[in-house]
Amino acid sequence: MWFLAIRHLFSRKRQTLLTLMGIILGTAAYVAISGMMLGFQSFIIDQLVNNDSHVRISAREDFITAHSMDKDFFGPSVLVSWAAPPSGRRDNAYILFPGAWTARLAKEPYVAAFAEQLVSQVIITRGKFKAAANLIGVEPTQQSQVTNIQKYMTVGNFKDIGTGGNRIVIGDLLLKKLGATVLETIYLSVGFGEMRPFKIVGTFHLGVKALDESNIFGALADVQLLGGTPGRISDIAVRLYKVELAADVASTWNMLGDEKVQSWDQAHEGIMSVFTTQDIVRNAMTLSILIVAGFGIYNILGMAVTQKRREIAILRSMGYLPRDITTLFLLQGLVLGIAGGFLGAILGFGVSHVMASIRVSAERGLGGEHMMISFLPSIYLKGFLLAFLASALSGFLPARAAGKLTPIDIIRSESG
Amino acid sequence: MGINLEDIHKSFGLPPTSVLKGINVTVNDGEFVAIVGRSGCGKSTLLYILSTLDQPSSGSVEIDGRLVENMDIGEVHSFRNMQMGFVFQFHHLLPELSVIENVLMPALKRNLAQQKRDNALKLINEFGLSDKINRLPGQLSGGEQQRVAIARALVMGPKYIFADEPTGNLDSTNGDIVMGLFKRFNQEQKTTIIYVTHDPTFASLASRQIHMSDGRII
């Protein structure tokens, strides 16, 4: 039946070509749009996953609600109605029992590495200029195992922070904002605490503006000393062997203690929901294109069935079964789908390459100087399968209708 | 063995219009039979019931000792493919296939195209079409197309040939050629030929004529 299906398609060159073009363009659009969106998404996810931890354990957050203090003041059996209900937040700036967490993490089989951190809001003083920043106290070897920070160092080595000695690495945009230079000393203070000198030993560029102009990394012991909180940590950053387990692991650990445990995707829920919306838009758009192409196939095969009624009658009289006739027309749809899907994937690849060469930013980060385009094989496979599926579905109805035609009805209508 | 029809009735539409009214007929192997009668008397309907392309409203059709109603769709189609050939008034060639490809279409169904190719070429040669083997139907005259259709009907070496007004669309010269071919295959191969015609000259070539009027054999 392949032989006859191909001949049928070639006998209607213009219709076949137009339908094929529809499928090619639909598939190419899917590949190019998916490449662009997924390229952007994978870059952002890479930033979120690799610049931070897979799972973050941070100090407890406890919000005071209207009735959360009833029991403390009036006992369990009194129904309290507050004229001015209490509100507020009582949280600890520190993890209360970090030793218990680190002991547990050291034994967890899916934990690749973890790093204790103390995050403080600091005031930077350089001469008369003052600026606020986040000072993250880390043990540099641990931190390098948990994140890819070393990869994003633009000057110096992350491990130059050492384990003490007031050395820091800062975001390159913050350095620019301060007008400072590497190896210069700046002054940091926490709240009303005294200012202490810290030497800039390196800079990093994560490609996320908010982080590059506000983050500073220093040795954990130095940051603890600056805040007058020796031995305390506010966060534990955890890297897992499998990032896809992050959400499940975070949910499980959340039940273990009072600390807040969040996976990277839970922490960036807003961004992830934008991605979900993008995916919906992308798939809806592609589906619309393929539905149009599908209608093209439906139309061309529907017309073919009408035009080929005599041939159907003679094939049936020769002993061809109804399913042979269905196959004959279904194959035509599938040939269009396979050819259109294949050629569309190639065209999409070409368009993606052109897009990948478009300059979008002179700065490093955001995928470098060019548009981030994903060339994942799964995009091409999905594009091809969508074209194939659209063709199979839209070819099925006319093919089934052709299979149902009986030779005698056709002969009677032809001669009548 | 042959084909045996018993008390065949056929009606169409609503309210039902009776086209065949109690037909009893037997066609023996190797016969050369013409079904004749005026337009609308049920000749073609009888031919299509004899050839299994149509089913009667009531009555039984027995081919080579087997009741058609007891055969499943696969068996009927297989029998049609191997033992029956059809020739229609309007040729019904596949326009996108060449002469040789059209002739080999029944063989293609059984993946026998290679084995039947020599036979196809022989028939094409015998029918005077050897120089047009790769031509498309649109490049042939009406008479040539009908000869291709006959070659296609004969390529599997069928036991039965059914022809519905095979000369109806041809001039008398080509009509003579077509009927000559039928006669020859009936005599040489003992192929059972059953054809419908309203042309008395062509009907007279048959060894037996079945006369029909108003849905009955007279």
| CB nearest to B81's CB, from A7, A319, A407 | A319
Do B54 and A408 lie within an 8 Å CB cutoff? yes
Residue B51, Ramachandran bin (φ over 0: left; ψ between -120 and 50: alpha; else beta): alpha
Look-up of token digits 């196809």: B120
Backbone angles phi, psi at B194, to 5 degrees: -125, 120
pLDDT at position A366 is: 46
List Cβ<8 Å contacts ≥24 apart for A307-313.
A308/A8, A308/A402, A309/A405, A309/A410, A309/A413, A309/A414, A310/A410, A310/A414, A310/B90, A310/B92, A311/B92, A311/B94, A311/B95, A312/A402, A312/A405, A312/A407, A312/A410, A313/A405, A313/A407, A313/A410, A313/A411, A313/A414, A313/B92
Contacts of A5 in chain B (CB under 8 A): none
C-beta of residue A109 within 8 angstroms of C-beta of residue A238:
no
Contacts of B46 in chain A (CB under 8 A): none
Do B53 and A10 lie within an 8 Å CB cutoff? no
Contacts of B120 in chain A (CB under 8 A): none
Contacts of A3 in chain B (CB under 8 A): 108
Do A3 and B95 lie within an 8 Å CB cutoff? no
Distance CA A291, CA A391 (A): 9
Q: Under CATH, to which class is B3-94+158-217 assigned?
A: alpha beta
Between β-strands B160-164 and B192-196, what pairing exists: parallel, antiparallel or unpaired?
A: parallel
Distance CA A127, CA A13 (A): 78
Distance CA A243, CA A238 (A): 10
CB atoms within 10 A of CB A59: 18
| CB nearest to A408's CB, from B48, B74, B92 | B48
Instruction: Please give the residue of chain A at the shortest CA–CA distance from B81.
Output: A319
Where in chain B are the domains? 3-94+158-217
Query: Going along A71-128, which residue ranges are E strands?
Result: 88-89, 111-126
Contacts of B71 in chain A (CB under 8 A): none
**Predicted ipTM of the assembly:** 0.83
Buried b (16+ CB within 10 A) or exposed e, B55-67: bbeebebbbeeee
Nearest C-alpha of chain A: how many angstroms from B94? 6
CB-based contacts of B13: which residues, under 8 Å, 6+ apart?
none
* pLDDT tens readout for residues A366-395: 445 678 888 999 999 988 998 888 888 888
Do B92 and A313 lie within an 8 Å CB cutoff? yes
Look-up of token digits 């190419």: A28
Nearest C-alpha of chain B: how many angstroms from A388? 26
CB pairs under 8 A between A and B: 65
Is residue A321 less than 8 Å (CB to CB) from chain B? yes
Contacts of A316 in chain B (CB under 8 A): 53
| DSSP label at residue B60 | E
Is residue A414 less than 8 Å (CB to CB) from chain B? yes
Instruction: Please give the residue of chain B at the shortest CA–CA distance from A324.
Output: B109
pLDDT at position B91 is: 60
C-beta of residue A61 within 8 angstroms of C-beta of residue A88:
no
Three-state SS for A127? coil
| Alpha-carbon torsion (B105, B107, B110, B114), positive or negative | negative
Look-up of token digits 């961004």: A271
Mutate to test the interface with B, among A2, A317, A325, A409 (most CBs of B within 10 A): A317
Instruction: Please give the residue of chain A at the shortest CA–CA distance from B52.
Output: A317
Contacts of B48 in chain A (CB under 8 A): 408, 411
Where in chain A are the domains? 2-48+271-415, 90-258
| CB nearest to B109's CB, from A311, A318, A322 | A318
Contacts of B86 in chain A (CB under 8 A): 314, 317-318
| CB nearest to A321's CB, from B74, B95, B105 | B74
Distance CA A384, CA A400 (A): 24
Q: Which of B59, B54, B52 is nearest to B25 (CA)?
A: B59
Distance CA A226, CA A217 (A): 13
| DSSP label at residue A194 | P
Query: Tens-digit pLDDT profile for chain B (218 aa)?
Result: 789 999 999 998 778 888 898 889 999 989 999 999 888 888 888 999 998 888 899 999 998 888 988 888 888 888 888 889 888 877 678 888 999 999 998 888 888 888 889 889 988 988 888 899 999 999 998 888 888 988 898 888 889 999 988 888 778 887 888 888 888 889 888 889 999 988 888 888 889 999 998 888 88
Instruction: Please give the residue of chain A at the shortest CA–CA distance from B136.
Output: A11
Contacts of A7 in chain B (CB under 8 A): 94, 96-97
Is residue A15 less than 8 Å (CB to CB) from chain B? no
Contacts of A416 in chain B (CB under 8 A): none
Instruction: Please give the residue of chain B at the shortest CA–CA distance from A308.
Output: B94
Question: How large is the C-alpha radius of gyration of chain A?
Answer: 32
Nearest C-alpha of chain A: how many angstroms from B163? 12
Instruction: Please give the residue of chain B at the shortest CA–CA distance from A407.
Output: B53
Mutate to test the interface with A, among B88, B102, B103, B156 (most CBs of A within 10 A): B88
Contacts of B79 in chain A (CB under 8 A): 319
pLDDT at position A363 is: 53
Is residue A81 less than 8 Å (CB to CB) from chain B? no
Look-up of token digits 């084909």: B3
Instruction: Please give the residue of chain A at the shortest CA–CA distance from B98.
Output: A7
Look-up of token digits 């506000």: A214
Q: For residue A148, what are the CA distances in angstroms to A49, A139, A203, A206?
A: 9, 14, 14, 10
CA dihedral B201, B202, B204, B210 (to 10 degrees): -120
Among the residues of A12-157, which ranges form H helices? 13-51, 70-74, 98-107, 140-146
Is residue A35 less than 8 Å (CB to CB) from chain B? no
- Contacting A with CB below 8 Å, chain B residues are 44, 48, 51, 53-54, 73-74, 77-82, 84, 86, 88-90, 92-97, 105-106, 108-109, 152, 164
Between β-strands A185-189 and A196-204, what pairing exists: parallel, antiparallel or unpaired?
A: antiparallel
| DSSP label at residue A158 | G
C-beta of residue B57 within 8 angstroms of C-beta of residue B21:
no
pLDDT at position A364 is: 47
Instruction: Please give the residue of chain A at the shortest CA–CA distance from B73.
Output: A321
Q: Kindly give the parts of chain A with pLDDT less than 50.
A: 364-367
| DSSP label at residue A359 | B
Nearest C-alpha of chain B: how many angstroms from A384? 29
Nearest C-alpha of chain B: how many angstroms from A314? 6
Which residues are registered as beta bridge partners of B37?
B212
Nearest C-alpha of chain A: how many angstroms from B186? 20
